[in-house]
A = this chain, B = another copy of it.
Amino acid sequence: MERKRIYLVGLGPGGREQMTQQAYAALADADVLCGYTGYVDLVRGWFPEKETYTTPMTQELARCRWALETAREGKSVAMLCSGDAGVYGMAGPLLQLTEGGEEVEITVVPGVTAALSGAAMLGAPLMHDFCVISLSDLLTPWDQIAKRLVCAAEGDSVIVLYNPGSKRRRGHLRRACEILLERKHPETVCGWVRNVGREGSEVRILSLQALKETEVDMFTTVFIGSSTTQRIGRWMVTPRGYENK
């Protein structure tokens, strides 16, 4: 097989059983496993003989450049992403760096992103239209994030928040909830999920009002219901409307 290739691999939430077989096969085929240290550590044990290349969380572009150079030299590289490789992952910056050149064969291997793995733990919050919004303002101005929150609320879509908080982003979730509370009922059914598919995973269903007072970290994904989202027992469910047929 042609070795000048890069697999952009979505690992899903973290466990082997939550990866697709295609993702595992890509890791197995690669000469080098490359990624943020924490993600490489997740899979290193399955392939103890393989070369690895890790960089810290903020070195995304350097990592992509390294992968492209290494593939051009004739190796096959798997770039590891948590969740899906194309949702706030490495697929974008890597493809931008190729500038459309085709000397390296690139395959994006999708995975179960946090919106899906988190929703599965909460029940069925995403049964109807939804918006995915990252609260990280490292790469996006806060004004644009705020505008998207307003639009999502006005469309009455379910909203999934990625990167709702971190040590550097304290207060972002509170600010987001304040924007939403101007347009949505304080009792809107919301939920959060932490550490999906890893040890110590947690799930909570609560009101938008209560969500505003919640401290979250970077391993948390937040779900904000539409006006029709309900709490049914221990589940968060957005009806699609079968019951009205």
**A residues at B contact (CB < 8 Å):** 10, 12, 16-22, 25, 60-61, 84-89, 91-93, 95-96, 98-102, 108-113, 116-117, 119-121, 123-134, 139-140, 144, 147-148, 150-152, 154-157, 232-235, 237-245
Known pairs A86-B125, A233-B98; A120 contacts B92 (CB<8 A) = no
Instruction: Give min CB distance, A113 to chain B, whole Å.
Output: 6
Please state if B100 and A232 are interface contacts (CB–CB under 8 Å). yes
Please state if A110 and B101 are interface contacts (CB–CB under 8 Å). no
Residues of B within 8 A of A86 (CB): 116, 119-120, 123-127
- Interface pairs (13), CB distance under 8 Å: A12-B20, A18-B21, A60-B242, A84-B126, A86-B125, A93-B240, A93-B243, A99-B232, A100-B234, A102-B233, A126-B132, A128-B134, A140-B240
Please state if B240 and A124 are interface contacts (CB–CB under 8 Å). no
* Nearest 8 pairs of A and B residues by beta carbon: A100-B233, A151-B155, A92-B127, A139-B241, A91-B124, A108-B120, A92-B124, A110-B120
Residues of B within 8 A of A84 (CB): 112, 116, 119-120, 126
User: Given B21, B95, B157, B235, which contacts A21 in the complex, CB threshold below 8 Å?
Assistant: B21
Residues of B within 8 A of A232 (CB): 95-96, 98-100
> Contacts A87-B127, A139-B240 given; 10 further ones with Cβ under 8 A?
A17-B25, A19-B20, A61-B243, A84-B116, A86-B127, A87-B126, A88-B127, A96-B243, A109-B120, A131-B132
Please state if B61 and A242 are interface contacts (CB–CB under 8 Å). yes
Please state if A119 and B112 are interface contacts (CB–CB under 8 Å). no
